[in-house]
Amino acid sequence: MSDSSSVTAMKKVVQQLRLEATAADLKQFCLQNAQHDPLLTGVSSSTNAFRPQKVCSFL
């Protein structure tokens, strides 16, 4: 293996390691903030502005 191909291969390894480190950071962030994510925990009906309005009818 020539020096230039060795350097190219190492650059690819470094690039892959950077991508993996970024993915690990993203996963850690998601796990730390999962309890605040309304897509995972849902929205309470008292704070949901888009809940269906109740109809009031008198008999």
| 3-59 pLDDT tens trace | 889 999 999 999 999 888 888 888 999 999 999 988 888 888 788 878 887 777 776
- 39, two tokens: 């897509």
- Answering whether pTM is above 0.85, one says no
Domain boundaries, the chain: 3-34
State in Å, rounded, how far the first CA of the chain is from the last one: 89
| pLDDT score, position 33 | 93
User: Are 20 and 28 in contact, with CB atoms under 8 Å apart?
Assistant: no
Q: What distances in angstroms separate CA 57 from CA 17, 50, 53, 54, one per listed residue? A: 64, 21, 13, 10
The residue count for the chain: 59
| pLDDT score, position 31 | 93
Residue type for 24, please?
A
